[in-house]
A and B are shown apart, each in its own frame.
Chain A
Amino acid sequence: MLRILNLETGYGRLRVLKGVSLHVSSGEIVTLIGANGAGKSTLLSCVAGVVRPWAGEVVLNGRPITGLPPEQVVASGCSLSPEGRQVFGPMTVRENLLMGGYVRRGERGREETEAALEEVYGLFEVLRQRRDQLAGTLSGGEQQMLAIGRALMARPRLVMMDEPSLGIAPRVVQMIYETLPELKRRGMTLLLVEQNARAALRVADRGYVLETGQIVCEGDSEELLGNREVQRAYLGKDYRRIDE
């Protein structure tokens, strides 16, 4: 589905990604974990076309998308739910969602958009209830659901999520995380970036650990959860106690 080879990028003279290679197979949930500043969000932004790559290649479904502008990346089947939600506050929930499906045009497009809207409402009932409310008045968790819903509106095959648990009450984090396997069942492929490594590894099939712009570890989620380095660095010392 997604194949990244030796990806390098940065901001100005600051090199953030130093040759990252990873892949996400069709139907998988893959997580990229790492500390703040490791380059996780930069990687997603780079794939999404928001940040220009310096070197390397990004291939989506066998087609190179390296350096394509965001709208073309979305059109090729890959959407991003960005860090910090970034919903349009003065617009209603419904309008926000429609923005996510704007790549579709024409009569058929409208039908499809309605269908996509219905799917999103089916996934997050609360968005249906609040569809005419201004997005800015939603709680953090609801805004996060909206951001995910907006990414789903383009009916992508690959959804990239940047820190869906950031600044959200634990109960809501759990709710959001419960929807991820549902997305997988619906045939979607997920690339999930998280600082909340435990939550991410619980739903993911595989994971990569990014440290200062380089992958230092990868493997099945179960293996990463069992890796003591990962436990110490990303799961917290009293990992076991919290876990139970």
Chain B
Amino acid sequence: MLYNPKYERLTRGELAQVQIERLQSTLNRAYRNVAFYRHLFDANGVDLEGVKSVEALGRLPLTTREDLAQSYPYDMFAVPLRDIARIHSIAGASSAPVAVGYTRNDLKHCTECTARALTAAGVHAGDVVQIAFPYNLFLGGYGFHQGAEQVGASVIPSLATASVERQIVLMRDFKTTILICTPGYALQLAHALEELQVHRERLHLRVGIFGGEPWPEGVRQELEQRLGVVCLDAYGLSDVMGPGAAAECGERQGLHVNEDHFIVEAVHPETLCPVKRGEAGELVFTTIAREGFPVIRYRSGDIGALDEAPCACGRSFARIRKSARRADDRFFFQGVGIFPAQIGRIIDDVMGWKPRRQILLDRHEGTDAMEVRLEVTEGIASLDEIRNLEHLRERVEKRIETVLDVRVKACFVEPASLADAEANPVVDRRPT
């Protein structure tokens, strides 16, 4: 089933025409309305009229997450604030957060893209869709919610903050057929089901659509086996476009990119040159249907290869074959992408000095856990100092929770015990 066959089945030639039209109109609008892009293009001597094909896009400068953060609050908006229907925001790579504005049409497009993703996963009007994503400043939950309503399904916005036990009660009592959450959360649910001895035969789950963080093939197999459902991957860039940028169809041979909304390129993460066709590279996205917040050649940090070969499902959109690797040092924790530097800055701010630090990631009973280890410089002399350190430790934990919306444990360790911290700032012991 295709949600919008008119677009999802365009021939590659027709698609190229749609893409170049939308790209040119996006570039013209971005240059006219977005100060950041006007400066960027002028400073780099970019001749926008010279962009006569989608391939020519590769000559334009890239946009980074840092650029978005520096444009906070609304220097990246292409329309006046009163035209913005909704704002979503995430923590930036450095100090400032990133705020993304959506016009009504943008939200409609987001709905369309997630509706396509859900249809590709086999979701239809008879389904009960349980969305255990966060519904907050991050678009993930809302995006899938809108799409699920659009395809006519019954939606349970069960949120990721509800306890797993409640999730399971809802799932059982309302005969949930589709589960949408992060793969990490799905593992937690799988674990809880086994703990509570709820047999999967008593549930009606059919498909799991998981996204928000990269997950290797091994996790898919584990989830399929433990939950007894078909598991499909969905990809979105919470930073700039929310969910629905790309999603797997039943063939499970990569994620179809909604190419009438996004142009995706793969570039070498260091040279930033396009990689050879079919090779893996850092995925770079350009929005071509966005009104409120167009981004041009945005570096996602995600690594993947692009495959334009026809797919048995009939969609002509290219597929991303994702890799769990990242082009940068961002890691994913409970579905939130975090840069070690974000945590580092909080530590430095709170402590007032720069203790050596190391982040430990673990998974206990399906739940991700993070420990931030901080090295004290010398032996602790007095009780006062201990009290002081305890106070600092709590403030670090609180501050990380406030800024990044994740709960972590902070602790102090002996001097010189983090000798390998520079080489390994993040130790990920979660099973893959």
Residue positions of A touching B, CB distance < 8 A: 3, 5-6, 18-19, 21-23, 208, 211, 214-219, 223, 226-229
In the assembled complex, which residues on chain B have CB atoms less than 8 Å from the CB atom of A6?
52
Q: A219-B105, A228-B79, A229-B83 are in contact. Are A22 and B52 (CB under 8 A)?
A: no
For residue B108, CB closer than 8 A to chain A, the reply is: yes
For residue B259, CB closer than 8 A to chain A, the reply is: no
Please tell me if the beta carbons of B17 and A5 are within 8 angstroms of each other in the complex: yes
Minimum Cβ distance to chain B for residue A239 (Å): 14
The 7 residue pairs across chains A and B that have the minimum distance between CB atoms: A228-B83, A215-B25, A6-B52, A21-B21, A214-B28, A216-B28, A223-B105
For residue B29, CB closer than 8 A to chain A, the reply is: yes
Is chain A's binding surface mostly helix, strand, loop or mixed? strand
For residue B300, CB closer than 8 A to chain A, the reply is: no
A-B contact pairs, 22 of them (CB 8 A): A5-B20, A5-B52, A6-B52, A18-B49, A21-B17, A21-B24, A22-B21, A208-B25, A211-B28, A214-B25, A214-B28, A215-B21, A216-B28, A217-B25, A217-B29, A219-B105, A219-B289, A223-B105, A226-B105, A227-B291, A229-B83, A229-B291
In the assembled complex, which residues on chain B have CB atoms less than 8 Å from the CB atom of A22?
21
Given contacts A23-B18, A214-B24, 11 further A-B pairs with CB under 8 A are: A19-B24, A211-B28, A215-B21, A216-B25, A216-B28, A217-B29, A218-B22, A218-B25, A219-B289, A223-B108, A227-B105
For residue B59, CB closer than 8 A to chain A, the reply is: no
**Chain B residue total in the interface (Cβ 8 A):** 22
A211 and B24 alpha carbons, distance in the complex (Å): 13
A3 and B83 alpha carbons, distance in the complex (Å): 32
Segment 19-34 of B: residues with Cβ below 8 Å from A: 20-22, 24-25, 28-29, 32
Minimum Cβ distance to chain B for residue A19 (Å): 5
A219 and B291 alpha carbons, distance in the complex (Å): 11
Segment 283-326 of B: residues with Cβ below 8 Å from A: 289, 291
Segment 27-65 of B: residues with Cβ below 8 Å from A: 28-29, 32, 49, 52
A226 and B83 alpha carbons, distance in the complex (Å): 10
Q: A219-B289, A227-B103 are in contact. Are A3 and B24 (CB under 8 A)?
A: no
Residue of B28, B29, B79 most packed against chain A (CB within 10 A): B28
In the assembled complex, which residues on chain B have CB atoms less than 8 Å from the CB atom of A228?
79-80, 82-83, 103
Minimum Cβ distance to chain A for residue B211 (Å): 26
In the assembled complex, which residues on chain B have CB atoms less than 8 Å from the CB atom of A211?
28
Please tell me if the beta carbons of B79 and A229 are within 8 angstroms of each other in the complex: yes
